[in-house]
Amino acid sequence: MKSMTGYGSAKKELKNFQIELNIKSVNGRFLELRFHMPKEYVAIESEFRRILPDFFARGTIDIFCNRKVKTSNEISGVEINFGLADKIHKELQALNKRLKLKSEIHLNQIISSAPVLKVKEEVELSKAERGEVISLLKESAKLCLAERVREGQSLKKEFLSLLSKLSDEVDSVKSLKEIHNLEVSQRLKEKIKNKGLVENIDDIKFQQELFFWTEKSDIAEEIQRLEEHIRNYKNLLLSKNSNGKKIDFYTQELLREINTIGSKSQSSKITQHVVEAKGLIEKLKEQAQNIE
């Protein structure tokens, strides 16, 4: 069992530059990859997309890559913006004329006024650097995955503890089921007596009505389904597969069944256990959002 929250970081010192790659993962319904990389690595984004699903099945994954040049060896030339230089020179001449100045216009004034000079760097990605970046991606992904697994084990303990408590509440409701059915029967008889229809209590029509109300308020099926859902839930938690979506489904089913019991029950004791059970299921629901 894995969490969807994790972080991994790796860096490499090369001769002319340093590469640092960080992966951060958070909750997500599906696998969403978001890249934050320099232009030099755009060409290998498709390869990143092919590699990362081997590590992550679900979640929002942000990949941050930083490429810091340490020397000027990659400089291939200087680009001059002649059009911008001409415009600045003309504007400075116009300013001299407007202010009636006779000062000379120097080259350093033009260069310092705007980015007239631009250093061009090599952007072609070498085969060696490509291999280093992919290696860093895999290393960061492994570290992030390890953190997701570690947090997943902690979540599993919390889930099993909550399920154990939920199972106790279901057992308590189950032990009160027969008393609940008896209370429904007695309550209906009281209503008949209060209306002065005592002589009809033993007739067939009354017995049919009593059976109808007892069936309508019976919670045996809901209890049975709850017990089955809890067993399946535990099996999913102990599985090595990615079961976040299935766990989320069973959490909704648990809540649905316990709500049905609450609406059917006319027993204050059962209602107390239903309230406790709903609180436990809400905690399961909250935690389930973070399972891969």
Reported as a single tens digit per residue, the pLDDT across 39-81 is: 889 889 999 999 999 999 999 999 999 988 765 555 556 677 7
Give the model's pLDDT for residue 81: 78
Torsion sign (Cα): 252, 254, 255, 261: positive
Model confidence at 274, pLDDT cuts 50, 70, 90, reads very high
Is 37 domain-assigned?
yes
- Is the predicted pLDDT of residue 31 greater than 60, yes or no? yes
Distances (CA, A) of 57 to 32, 200, 292: 10, 65, 7
Are 99 and 204 part of one and the same domain? no
Are 84 and 105 part of one and the same domain? yes
Are 279 and 219 part of one and the same domain? yes
Instruction: Calculate mean pLDDT across residues 220-232.
Output: 93
Instruction: Calculate mean pLDDT across residues 154-169.
Output: 95
Are 281 and 207 part of one and the same domain? yes
Structure tokens, 198: 């005592």
Give the model's pLDDT for residue 175: 87
Is 1 domain-assigned?
no
Are 65 and 86 part of one and the same domain? no
**pTM of the entire predicted model:** 0.68
Are 84 and 37 part of one and the same domain? no
Instruction: Calculate mean pLDDT across residues 260-287.
Output: 91
Are 176 and 254 part of one and the same domain? yes
Alpha-carbon distance of 98 to 205, in angstroms, equals: 111
Helix runs in the chain, H state only:
45-51, 82-98, 107-113, 127-175, 177-194, 204-217, 220-238, 244-264, 268-288
Model confidence at 199, pLDDT cuts 50, 70, 90, reads low
Strands 31-36 and 17-26: unpaired
Final residue before a domain boundary, out of 103, 121, 139: 121
Instruction: Calculate mean pLDDT across residues 146-158.
Output: 94
Are 276 and 180 part of one and the same domain? yes
- Is the predicted pLDDT of residue 229 greater than 80, yes or no? yes
Are 171 and 226 part of one and the same domain? yes
Judge whether 237 and 2 are in contact, CB under 8 Å: no
**pLDDT tens digits for range 5-25:** 999 999 998 877 889 999 999
Alpha-carbon distance of 172 to 182, in angstroms, equals: 17
Are 137 and 188 part of one and the same domain? no
Model confidence at 226, pLDDT cuts 50, 70, 90, reads very high
Better pLDDT: 163 or 242: 163
Give the model's pLDDT for residue 134: 95
Is 126 domain-assigned?
no
Single-letter amino acid code for the residue at 137: L
Containing structural domain, residue 103: 75-121
- Is the predicted pLDDT of residue 261 greater than 70, yes or no? yes
Are 171 and 259 part of one and the same domain? yes
Domain count of the fold of the chain: 3
| Mean pLDDT of the chain, nearest integer | 84
Give the model's pLDDT for residue 183: 67
Are 29 and 138 part of one and the same domain? yes
